[in-house]
Amino acid sequence: MTGLDPAAVGAPGTSTAIDVGDVTLHTVVAGPDDGEPVVLLHGFPECWYAWHDLIEPLAAAGYRVVVPDQRGYNRSDKPDPVSAYRLDALAGDISGLLDAVGAADAHVVGHDWGALVAWWLGLHDAHRVRTLSALNVPHPTAFRRTLRTDPRQLARSWYAILFQLPWLPEALARRNNWRVAVASMADTSRPGAFDATDFDRYRRAWGVENAYRSMINWYRAVFRGNTRPRRRRVDPPALVLWGAEDTFLRRPLAAKSSAYCDNGRLVLWEDATHWLHHEHPDRVVDELTRQFEVAGEW
């Protein structure tokens, strides 16, 4: 199988292909079998590798760490229709993943698009979410309302409109050895967050047949499908962890998102960007494990 595998890059964890229902997800698993399950959901344009600095410390702390390539990414299945990437299907994959690993629920952590999937799961299948941790993507209702009222946020989201065009975003991304895709990460992160090796590994994942098309289809599907959750309040204990220097999402979205959580905690870092899990992995692990401990008190 092509793409990026942990064994090929010396990353912790073992690879497995897990049938979650509609699709099969390539998943990296680490930590003790009897540990509390932690599901780490990457965003765009990453893959399981987004969490490579967090897998080992979480596993060493006794957690069962489950890190999928979400549908369309890297080594996971890539359905053709845009409709296959709607939020209900994406969240359903994670419920299916929990079923497959024998977990009634899990600590669900997401960054970027992975955070939106985590929010969706917490809003629609709260019984599967022991705790919810969202890194730098807002609650869907907070985001929708902000887009309607804040032209500055709408301007920052311009690329999502570009992604609605057929084939062009994929073609632009591939040019000059993925120059635009690399720049989108390098230019919006703090120095040192990514190095040349990281980008070589992402290029390997992006270059899998139909992968980048499928990744862009997440954006296309959200424009064409229903993005109104069936409820607004989040029941499980929730952490909103936010890098204040985010180029894509404005700072007020963090507090607006936390306000939708019945048991919410907001942590705002002034010295972090959208890519805070790469910039401060140790601090992210500390905040996550603190959040996981909340479940025992709730």
- C-alpha separations of 68 from 21, 81, 93, 123, 134 in Å: 14, 21, 10, 21, 16
Task: Note if the bond before 45 is cis, omega within 30 degrees.
Answer: yes
Catalytic hit among 5, 112, 198, 246: 112
Catalytic hit among 105, 219, 260, 280: 219
Catalytic hit among 42, 107, 274, 277: 274
Q: Cβ distance 117 to 90 under 8 Å? A: yes
Residue 107 a catalytic site member: no
Residue 112 a catalytic site member: yes
Which tokens go with 92? Answer: 């359903």
Catalytic residues: 112, 219, 274
